[in-house]
Amino acid sequence: MGACVFLLPHVHFIITFFFLLVFVPTSYCEEDEFYRECFTPFQCGNLPNLSYPFWGDKRPEICGYQGFRLRCQEGPFPVITINDQEFYVKFVNQSERVMIISLKDLSQTVCPPGVAEILNTNLNETPFSYVPEFENVSLFYNCSNKATMVPTPYKISCSANDEQRDAFYATDWLLSKWNQDPSDCNIRVEVPVPKVDVEQLISGGMEALSKALREGFNVTYMFETISMCYECVHLGGICGTDSSTFRFTCLCRDQPYPYNCPKAKGNDGLNVNRKIVIGITVGVVGILIACAFNFCFKRIPSVSSIISLPKIVKNNQDLEAFLKNHGPLVVNRYSFSEVKKMTNLFKNKLGQGGYGSVYKGKLFDHRLVAVKVLNASKGEGQEFINEVASISRTSHINIVTLLGFCFEGQKRALIYEFMPNGSLDKFICYKSPLKSSDHHLGWETMHQISIGIAEGLEYLHRGCNTRIVHFDIKPHNILLDENFCPKISDFGLAKLCTKKDSIISMLEARGTIGYIAPEVFSRNFGGVSSKSDVYSYGMMVLDMVGGREEDFGTDHTSEKYFPHWIYRQLEQGNKSKLCGEISIEENEIIRKLTIIGLWCIQTIPSERPSMSKVIEMLKGSIEALNIPPKHFLSSPPRSPSSTFTISMTKC
């Protein structure tokens, strides 16, 4: 026992040494310089987290693909050249392969000095293609006096060679209406415009034209090497292009390869013999140390935690593998020391829940962020994976933006855009002594918030390549920006499914009590699907309308019959007495929200509307809505922290 007594003061040192020696990943070996340079996403102008196929000023050509070079230092936006025309890149969604671009020469003025050199927008023989919903608008310059028959709102005041010459713009429909001869003008430039803007161009004049040219149009892009890129990333590599041959290359940890990282070398790029030698050496030493621990410390409680190390390490390795294949391509990764700096050592706490705590922070470019630090004991990383996997696939005005993450041992954090107005929950007018609202936003604003949330959910269910079911829609998970635009957050319980899957396989209930659909509790009501989110949305809308007043009943059972109370108020035509007196128009909004909420919480999933139908109902007239049948269950008392979670399973 003397040896054991000698070792006792060094228990923590030995544990740390044992952990590092046995479990340190071989990926810390020297990496190929191109792999290291292309591994981290880059920022170009106002566009963060860009990766293959994009490259440019801050990114070598080997990291990208021909035709996707960005110039990052010219003007307010990155510039891309397509068929000798320069375009500002306003927005990029890499998961959907969608860009918004605008013609550089016409973005700032409709009468640029070099107008004679501007070409018609042409995407032929490029990786880019128009989104189907567009129409060309023609700009005519250097026109003769015959063009004066064009109505004044469509005229453009331009000069050529110090001489004032007429110019105007028109759609094909306007040209046919005016019977105008385009040959009266020396220059004609055609620019695509989204169809949604065409009507505004017809009625809005120069202001509408300037806005359309400035905001640009949507294009999709496709590159020939996309299938090879997918295989390369799947095997742990990074997509690139050989700058000498201009052919696809897979950048692996040890060196570039023509197609993908060799399977025999694994994701870390080490040769097999080297791995065998390292493995045997580490294994033998590890076994010897483990035996010493077992002999000397099997009765010492402080060392018993070693038993959980292999499980922790396996979970961490699984998370690392996932993040290598998904994380770096989408969002920035930060160290925990960087997280501490951006939160000023976690000084400003915004909130806390079962998942952990949220702190206000500031990125190094001075953008405000909300940093969610997850509890180390919260599951085995499933919620972290869910959140990164689902939200990094989204790009929508009503979905909160994930700006980065931290994964360092058991320290996990998620960095989001900061929402200055907090969650929707505090703007719902509760009259219970246990809850209160800061203030009510007004029923028109509440109506717009309902529409925004519905459009965000409809995007998750139908707008993504991968369908996402959220499973935890509630007021606490709806954040409001400075303009009270709602954004869906907290994807820790979400499930990712292919679009063809209509029914989701689940082992246990997940969500917050009071918002969970009946079929999630019991399959007797039907299969779990996106209609489960519709139910949660309906209960949330009824919360917004009813607010859980004190006078629902005489005891705690009143909350149990909340939907029935709402239904009774609707049948009786009662006005809401929440937050003061209301007008006739506001009462119509409340009635509309109530009817829609009750349709959404129908017990049988097939009787609930889809989110696209909900949006149609929200934007339509109250007269078009029928009161739904009284087919809904009692709602158990709810609590923001009462959640069910399970491991992430496939659909």
- For 157-174, what is the HEC assignment? EEEECCEEEEEEEECHHH
Provide the residue range defining the domain that includes 560.
Answer: 420-644
Last residue of a domain, one of 161, 189, 221: 221
What whole-number distance in Å separates Cα of residue 95 and Cα of residue 221? Answer: 11
pLDDT-based confidence at 318, cuts 50/70/90? low
Per residue in 219-230, pLDDT (tens digit) is: 889 888 887 888
pLDDT at 358: 93
What whole-number distance in Å separates Cα of residue 194 and Cα of residue 208? Answer: 12
Q: Is residue 350 in some structural domain? A: no
State how far the alpha carbon of 479 is from the alpha carbons of 136, 427, 440, 475, in Å.
38, 11, 15, 8
User: What is the count of structural domains for the chain?
Assistant: 3
Choose the catalytic residue: 166, 472, 533, 543. 472
pLDDT at 398: 94
Average pLDDT rounded to a whole number, residues 142-162? 69
What whole-number distance in Å separates Cα of residue 297 and Cα of residue 305? Answer: 11
Per residue in 173-217, pLDDT (tens digit) is: 777 777 666 667 888 888 888 876 777 777 777 888 888 888 888
pLDDT at 607: 92
> Do 276 and 181 belong together in one domain?
no
Cβ pair 569, 590 in contact under 8 A: no
Cβ pair 487, 400 in contact under 8 A: yes
pLDDT at 403: 87
> Do 8 and 152 belong together in one domain?
no
Residue 493 is which amino acid? L
Per residue in 263-311, pLDDT (tens digit) is: 644 444 444 445 555 555 556 566 666 555 555 444 433 332 322 333 3
> Do 606 and 553 belong together in one domain?
yes
Q: What is the CA radius of gyration of the chain?
A: 30
CATH of the domain at 492: 1.10.510.10
What whole-number distance in Å separates Cα of residue 549 and Cα of residue 211? Answer: 46
Last residue of a domain, one of 221, 252, 278: 221
> Do 279 and 212 belong together in one domain?
no
- Give the pair of three-digit tokens for residue 327: 């994380």
State how far the alpha carbon of 147 is from the alpha carbons of 143, 156, 158, 325, 516, in Å.
6, 11, 13, 59, 65
The pairing of strands 98-103 and 85-93 is antiparallel
> Do 189 and 301 belong together in one domain?
no
Q: Is residue 584 in some structural domain? A: yes
pLDDT at 649: 31
Reduced to 3 states (helix: H, G, I; strand: E, B; else coil), residue 395 is: coil
Q: Is residue 121 in some structural domain? A: yes
> Do 210 and 283 belong together in one domain?
no
Long-range (24+ apart) CB contacts under 8 A made by 313-316 are 313/19, 313/23, 315/380, 315/381, 316/381, 316/409, 316/410
Min mean pLDDT across 195-199, 244-248, 288-292, 548-552 is at 548-552
Average pLDDT rounded to a whole number, residues 539-555? 64
Is 360 annotated as ligand-binding? no
What whole-number distance in Å separates Cα of residue 228 and Cα of residue 196? Answer: 36
Cβ pair 398, 453 in contact under 8 A: yes
pLDDT-based confidence at 254, cuts 50/70/90? confident
Q: Is residue 239 in some structural domain? A: no
Q: Is residue 404 in some structural domain? A: no
What whole-number distance in Å separates Cα of residue 46 and Cα of residue 100? Answer: 13
562-572 and 584-600 helices, crossing angle to 10°: 140
DSSP 8-state code for residue 423: B
Cβ pair 253, 235 in contact under 8 A: no
Q: Which of 10, 30, 89, 24 is nearest to 54 (CA)?
A: 89
What whole-number distance in Å separates Cα of residue 358 and Cα of residue 362? Answer: 13
State how far the alpha carbon of 461 is from the alpha carbons of 492, 502, 530, 534, 647, in Å.
16, 10, 7, 10, 21
pLDDT at 541 exceeding the cut of 90: yes
Q: Is residue 429 in some structural domain? A: yes
Chain centre distance of CA 219:
19
Q: Could you tell me what percent of the chain has a pLDDT over 70?
A: 69
> Do 158 and 301 belong together in one domain?
no
Per the annotation, the verdict on 472 as an active-site residue is yes
- Mean pLDDT (the chain) is 75
> Do 475 and 619 belong together in one domain?
yes
> Do 212 and 319 belong together in one domain?
no
What whole-number distance in Å separates Cα of residue 384 and Cα of residue 598? Answer: 33
> Do 457 and 606 belong together in one domain?
yes
State how far the alpha carbon of 52 is from the alpha carbons of 41, 65, 247, 287, 331, in Å.
9, 7, 14, 43, 13
